[in-house]
Structures are given as structure tokens and as C-alpha cells.
Amino acid sequence: MGLRDKGNSLVVVEHDEDTIRRADHLIDLGPGAGKNGGQVVWQGDPKELFQPSKGKKRSSKPTPDLCPVTHDSPTMEAYAHPLVHPLRGSRRKLPNKKEAGDWLVVKGARANNLKNLEVRIPIGRLTVISGISGSGKSSFLRGVLKPAVSAALAAGKGGRKPSTKTKSDLPWTSLEGADRIEAVYEVDQSPIGKTSRSTPATYVKVFDEIRALFAQLPEARARGYTASRFSFNTEGGRCEPCKGNGSIKLEMNFLPTTYIVCEECGGRRYAASTLEVQYNGKSIGDIMDLTIAEAAEFFAGVPKIARTLNLMSETGLGYLHLGQPSPSLSGGEAQRIKLVTELTKGIGRATNARLRQNRTPKSNLYLIEEPSIGLHLSDVKRLLEIIHHLVDDGHTVVVIEHSLEIMAEADYLIDIGPEAGDAGGEIVASGTPEEVVKVKRSRTAPFLAERLGVK
């Protein structure tokens, strides 16, 4: 506001409601993502966006001199029908604290500004860690919880146990309950691949199933093609001039590196002979050009392929193309793809444990830091559905978040603070969100109480 009041013009890309409310002019793009978006669907004074509907649909007409509205505003729709928490209707019941085996208990957590904390995390539940920036949330998640569980799992599998001297240097004193954990995974927003050879389809392994399907086609078998023939990373099936990249790199003196579409394959990555093999009228190159939503419908009759693609569509990633280079994905898109991958892996691991090993599978521990960054409210809802799916499968999910929508969905909330730096590092409150909002010392409590409608 200070910059604006000095005569500057500011253009801000934001999903935060408070920032949207304070804008002088709002431009809403959509209505969907990817090729389903790219249009101005609403613009005008944001006060109109937040007008009470009084049972009627609010007007989305901008001022007369602005470009016309072509679609309903997804932002207006999101705030007209806010999420009602908990989304599932009720929270999962917390285990009895006297039952030690049902809790992951870290004692003596002292990384950075943490003050010798004892932190309890319910196994098989959604735990959210809240607190102001710099209060010690990441110090606990990355500096204590992940290495503590990883060390315990390594020791349990015959790995090297820390010596007495090494133990004294660790930022925690002890850990209980790790015997209930199968593995620990940190699901962050780092890229899922650094080259154009990595795509959403290859990362979630659905491309392996598609190639296997093509290899079983009568024409492919008659030609002696195997699944590797339909990979753009191996010789034989790929376009050799571009080595399966679909584009050719040009390096010129004194000019930046540029890429041009391969003239041989037209950007389709494959040799002409490979593209001659078709499944239901589409070649492997056509398949890679499909969006995830289109591919899910196309492969509806192939459960092994459709299941993964439907999961990706349900998380709001249906607009991405199967063959889209991974470096072009945003951090939020990459993180959701990783979550879907864990969901599909979890289904397989659980089935294997029950059928082959004749045992109930243990809980995986998933650590996620601020997954709502860059997400629209409608995307946050889809993200929560994935997280709940993981927990319903018996896994333990711990999330660091500032989003009230995600805090309000927690089975168990741990608020660290009360301030940042040396003035933080303490557990200010813990329990269900309804219990945490009653703690007056918590900086999070009043905002969360308002979101939950608790007075």
C-alpha cells in the first residue's frame, strides 16, 4: 500500500483473500488451467466479488469500459461457497496418549531455536504444524523429525547405529514409535526432472504401462517391436536427428542458446515407422500429445492406466500433457504429481504386504512443507482430498502450513512459537483445531477461530 500511495503502479499475482480484498482493481483469469484458461473471466472492483449473494448469483459484470466477461469467475465461485471444515464431516479420532505405540514421540528436540521439545505425532493421522515464520517449524520437520525417523529405520534394518559420542551431537534425545513406520518421504516442490526427457507420464510410471500396451498390439508383434521400441529415450523407435527430444538445440556465438522444432519428426519425438503402430486410431506420438484428462478418458477401458490418470485429473492436473517436459512444470504441479505417485505406490505396497507377506502394512510417514503455495482455493480443496486419501490408506502425514484451510482440516495441530527466532521454538498449543483456538497465547488461534466460526 505504501508503494501505491507514492504513485507507483503495482501488479500482483496472488491467491490470498486479504490481498485480493485490498486491491483497487481485480483481474481474474480462467476459467480453468492450461488450455482451459487464458481468458479474462472477471474484472472490476473486488468489493463486488465479495458482496453477499443473498441467495442470488452475484453479478460478474465489470465496468462498461472494460473487456467483457466470457465465463463465470472461479474465484467468485470459491468465495461464494467457502469450504466447510472438516471436509469429511468429522475428524479422525485421536489415539489414547497412554497408548505409546500409536504415537510418534520425539524427545529433546533442540535444532536451531527449538527449546528441548517433546513432540507427539499421532500415527495414521493428518498433523499440521503451524506458527509464524521463523518460529521453528522447518527446524523440527527437517532438522529433527526426518533425520530421527530415518536413523531409527536404518538401525532397525541393520544399518549403522550412532555411537555414544555421535548421539550427544544429535538435535534430539530419543524417538519412540518408529517401529510403526515403514518409510519416511519428504514431498517437496523441487522439480521432478531437469531435462525434456522427463515428463509427467514417465515420472508416475504410467508411460511404462502405455508402452507395454502398444507392444502387445498385433501390428507391433508382427514387426517384432517390444516396449522399448515405444520409448523416445532409446535407439530404434525414437527420431534419431533430435534423439527423441522433439527439438534440436542451436548454439550460436554471442547469442543465447535456442531450440527449433525437429523437421524430421515435427516435434513428435518418434521415427515414422514407430508412429505407424496405432491403438484405437492413435499413435504413441498422439498419446503423448493428449492432456491427462483426455488420456484418462481414452484409456478408460484399461484400469492399470486409467487409475493413475484419473488420480492426476482429480488433483487438478488434468490440463497437463502426458509428454510435457518436466522443467516446464511449476513447483506446485511437481508436488502434486509426487503425491499422486505416492498414492499409486501405496496401493501396490499395501497389496503386496497383505497378499505376499501376509501382514498388515505399516504406515509411511510423509513430510510436506507449505503445499498450498501458489494454489487457488479450488486447488487447495483438491490437494486436501489427496492428503486425506493418503491418511485413509493408513499413512501418517505431517504438513507445515500457513493456510487456514489446511490447518482447519488437521486431525492434530501443533502450534510452534509464540514468536520467531529466540522468542519462538516452543510448543504453544497442541490438539484438535477446536482445542488450539482456545489457547490465548497462540498467534494462530484467533485467525483459525474466525475461519472455523468459533467465538
364-375, pLDDT tens digit by residue? 999 999 999 888
Instruction: Please check whether residue 426 is in contact with residue 416, taking contact to mean a CB–CB distance below 8 angstroms.
Output: yes
Question: For 165-172, what is the mean pLDDT?
Answer: 76
- Please tell me the distance from the alpha carbon of residue 36 to that of residue 42, in angstroms, as a whole number: 15
Task: State yes or no: pLDDT of 358 exceeds 80.
Answer: no
Cα 126–132–137 angle (5° rounding)? Answer: 50
**Of 194 and 27, the one with more pLDDT:** 27
Strand partners of residue 184: 365
Task: State yes or no: pLDDT of 351 exceeds 60.
Answer: no
Look at residue 305 in the predicted model and tell me its pLDDT: 95
Phi/psi at 186 (nearest 5 deg)? -100, 115
Cα 306–309–312 angle (5° rounding)? Answer: 150
Look at residue 103 in the predicted model and tell me its pLDDT: 95
Look at residue 18 in the predicted model and tell me its pLDDT: 87
Q: Give the percent of the chain with pLDDT over 70.
A: 89
- Band (80; pLDDT cuts 50, 70, 90): confident
Question: For 293-303, what is the mean pLDDT?
Answer: 96
| Max mean pLDDT range (43-57, 116-130, 305-319, 337-351) | 116-130
C-alpha torsion angle, residues 150, 153, 157, 162 (rounded to 10): 70
Which residue reads 461457497 in cell numbers?
A: 81
Q: Is 338 left (phi over 0), alpha (psi -120 to 50) or beta?
A: alpha
**Of 146 and 252, the one with more pLDDT:** 146
Nearest to 428 by CA among 412, 403, 445, 404: 445
Task: State yes or no: pLDDT of 163 exceeds 80.
Answer: no
DSSP assignment string, 345-411 = HHHHHHHHHHHTS-SPPPEEEEEEE-TTTT--HHHHHHHHHHHHHHHHTT-EEEEE---HHHHTT-S
Whole-number CA gyration radius for the chain: 25
Nearest to 214 by CA among 301, 265, 283: 283
Q: Is 279 left (phi over 0), alpha (psi -120 to 50) or beta?
A: beta
**Of 278 and 249, the one with more pLDDT:** 278
- Please tell me the distance from the alpha carbon of residue 429 to that of residue 289, in angstroms, as a whole number: 50
Look at residue 166 in the predicted model and tell me its pLDDT: 63
Look at residue 159 in the predicted model and tell me its pLDDT: 52
- Band (64; pLDDT cuts 50, 70, 90): very low
Q: What is the DSSP letter of 321?
A: B
Task: State yes or no: pLDDT of 338 exceeds 70.
Answer: yes
Q: Residues in the chain, how many?
A: 455
Look at residue 58 in the predicted model and tell me its pLDDT: 42
Task: State yes or no: pLDDT of 323 exceeds 80.
Answer: yes
Residues 6+ apart with CB under 8 A from 422: 113
Task: State yes or no: pLDDT of 75 exceeds 70.
Answer: yes
Task: State yes or no: pLDDT of 55 exceeds 60.
Answer: no
Number of other residues whose CB lies within 10 A of the CB of residue 183: 14
Task: State yes or no: pLDDT of 67 exceeds 50.
Answer: no
Cis peptide before 74 (omega within 30 of 0): no
Task: State yes or no: pLDDT of 354 exceeds 70.
Answer: no
Look at residue 256 in the predicted model and tell me its pLDDT: 84
Q: Give the percent of the chain with pLDDT over 90.
A: 66
Question: For 270-276, what is the mean pLDDT?
Answer: 96
**Least-confidence region, from 37-51, 77-91, 214-228:** 37-51
- Please tell me the distance from the alpha carbon of residue 79 to that of residue 304, in angstroms, as a whole number: 37
Instruction: Please check whether residue 128 is in contact with residue 421, taking contact to mean a CB–CB distance below 8 angstroms.
Output: no
Counting DSSP H helices and E strands in the chain, the numbers are 19, 15
Task: State yes or no: pLDDT of 126 exceeds 60.
Answer: yes
Instruction: Please check whether residue 278 is in contact with residue 284, taking contact to mean a CB–CB distance below 8 angstroms.
Output: no
Question: For 113-117, what is the mean pLDDT?
Answer: 96
Look at residue 70 in the predicted model and tell me its pLDDT: 43
Question: For 416-440, what is the mean pLDDT?
Answer: 97
- Band (168; pLDDT cuts 50, 70, 90): low
Burial class (CB in 10 A: 0-12, 13-18, 19+), 331: middle
Q: What is the DSSP letter of 238?
A: B
Task: State yes or no: pLDDT of 68 exceeds 60.
Answer: no
Instruction: Please check whether residue 424 is in contact with residue 418, taking contact to mean a CB–CB distance below 8 angstroms.
Output: yes
Instruction: Please check whether residue 52 is in contact with residue 59, taking contact to mean a CB–CB distance below 8 angstroms.
Output: no
Strand partners of residue 270: 238
Phi/psi at 270 (nearest 5 deg)? -110, 160
Q: In the predicted model, what is the mean pLDDT of the chain?
A: 88
Question: pTM (2 decimals)?
Answer: 0.85
Look at residue 7 in the predicted model and tell me its pLDDT: 93
